[in-house]
Structure 1
Amino acid sequence: MDVVELHRRASEDFVRNVAAVGPDQWGDPTPCTDWDVRTLVNHVVGEERWTVPLMAGRTIEDVGDSLEGDLLGDDPASAAAHAARAAQNAITEPVLRGSSVQLSYGEEQAAEYVYQLAADHLIHGWDLAVAIGANARMDPEVVDGIAQWFKEREDLYRGGGAIGDRVNGFSDPADSLLGAFGRDPAWTPAHAAVAALGDAFGRGDVDAIMAQMTDDCVFESTSPAPDGARFEGADAVREQWQRLFDETPDALFETEESAVLGDRAVVRWRFSWREPDGSRGHVRGVDVIQLRDGKIAEKLSYVKG
């Protein structure tokens, strides 16, 4: 499959996913940990909007800041569809002519630039689909075409910080490609909730912790022995965690490992504090977590005593 067709298929699949975003899903998390759904879609639409002037021979300096900020407006689905169509119309002739484009890192072949765009549409299309609970199946022929192209570029992408660590252990071609781009094919919004909870505990940010909890959440602490204490409801749970951070000198939670399966998760953590003599004491423990509708409903904590 030629690169123009790869781009057309990947961009049209992305547009279909944008059209499936529900009105209350634009702020939902995605596998791109720093981006919610709207930010992800705005990024891809921005790439499409850049394609037209770059393919016409303009430089980044020529375009300036005209494509910065929000590009989606009040109708993101239409914005995505129009941008994709314009980009598709802009790429065919420069690719067939063997033209070059001016990118942030210098001059590049138009065909290579379109491969980059097609890959971004394919992977971010999957990101968007799993974030909103849509069909995340990727076109097998597009997967094959991008995988062949990316094989020689993976180390370059990773070395430049454009993708995360490779995730291995897959036989399915689509899963293997996602892993090469640093994605976990098993990702769900529950993964985002568990990761956000760990980050919030690491910062000692009780407001951010409670933002990941349901209103009727349950927390079982590690003391008193042997069964701990049980707290029900957001107010009671918040009080316990606020007291923990207020009363523990230099409290620090660090996530050592987490595993999510469906609506259940297990998190290994290390909790440390400053002793009166300046040294740091610590314990290590495990949380057994139950999720509901993308939030933590139950957190049962166990510690090595």
Structure 2
Amino acid sequence: MSTSTHPFLVRLQQATDDHDLDALVACFAPGYRNETPAHPGRSFGGTEQVRANWQQIFAFVPDITSRVTGHAVDGSEVWSEWELSGTRIDGTPHLMRGVIVFGLEGDRAAWARFYLEPVEHDGVDVGGAVRAQVHADDGPR
């Protein structure tokens, strides 16, 4: 595990915190592929979609900030844990946490496996979450 933050993560975090859309998009290779294993329908390819996604994020969470809470490097793979926070334009809090695994080509991300999710403050407890995942609605509780 690296003791200092990987330069790619520093650039990506700085572009995010500066709300610099061009610098953020420049962190990704033209053929970038984003996989979202927990939500396969959200997977996409290309920097055009990176730009469209972040245009919306910057517009709807104008004070968004990011924090890399941990990372590890294995060759060209960078495993990173993130927190994104801010306030949406409707006044509600925005908080996401999770892991992004990046595959780098040079100093750009060629691919990522994206596991960032909204934080639930009033969700069900662990027992309810397990029941919801493994029991049918009409099964025993």
Alignment: residue pair count: 117
TM-score normalised by the chain length of structure 1: 0.34
The CA distance in 2 between the partners of 1:227 and 1:205, in whole Å, is 28
1:263–1:292 contact (8 Å) kept in structure 2: yes
> In the superposition, relative to structure 1, how do residues 287 and 228 fare at CA in structure 2: closer, same or farther (>3 Å)?
farther
Report the secondary structure of 1:235's partner residue.
helix
Which amino acid counterpart does residue 67 of structure 2 have in structure 1?
E
The CA distance in 2 between the partners of 1:279 and 1:214, in whole Å, is 33
| 2:39 is the alignment partner of 1:226 | yes
Equivalent residue number for residue 205 of structure 1: 20
The CA distance in 1 between the partners of 2:90 and 2:54, in whole Å, is 25
Structure 1, unpaired ranges of 5+: 1-182
Aligned to 2:79, which of 250, 262, 266?
Answer: 266
Structure of larger gyration radius? 1
RMSD of aligned C-alpha atoms?
2.9
1:60-75 to 2 correspondences below 5 Å: none
**Which one has the bigger strand percentage?**
2
Equivalent residue number for residue 10 of structure 2: 195
Larger RCO (CA within 8 A; separation ≥ 6): 2
Structure 2, unpaired ranges of 5+: 119-141
Offset from partner CA, 1:214-258 (integer Å, 9 cap, x none): 111122469xx6335122122222112222212224222222122
1:50-61 to 2 correspondences below 5 Å: none
The CA distance in 2 between the partners of 1:210 and 1:272, in whole Å, is 20
The CA distance in 1 between the partners of 2:105 and 2:50, in whole Å, is 17
2:83–2:95 contact (8 Å) kept in structure 1: yes
Offset from partner CA, 1:256-277 (integer Å, 9 cap, x none): 1222221101111111121567
The CA distance in 1 between the partners of 2:56 and 2:42, in whole Å, is 14
Report the secondary structure of 1:207's partner residue.
helix
Offset from partner CA, 1:123-168 (integer Å, 9 cap, x none): xxxxxxxxxxxxxxxxxxxxxxxxxxxxxxxxxxxxxxxxxxxxxx
The CA distance in 1 between the partners of 2:112 and 2:66, in whole Å, is 15
Give aligned-pair identity as a percent: 28
TM-score normalised by the chain length of structure 2: 0.67
The CA distance in 1 between the partners of 2:52 and 2:9, in whole Å, is 20
Which amino acid counterpart does residue 213 of structure 1 have in structure 2?
F
Equivalent residue number for residue 250 of structure 1: 63
> In the superposition, relative to structure 1, how do residues 228 and 268 fare at CA in structure 2: closer, same or farther (>3 Å)?
farther
Aligned to 1:215, which of 30, 38, 45?
Answer: 30
Report the secondary structure of 1:296's partner residue.
strand
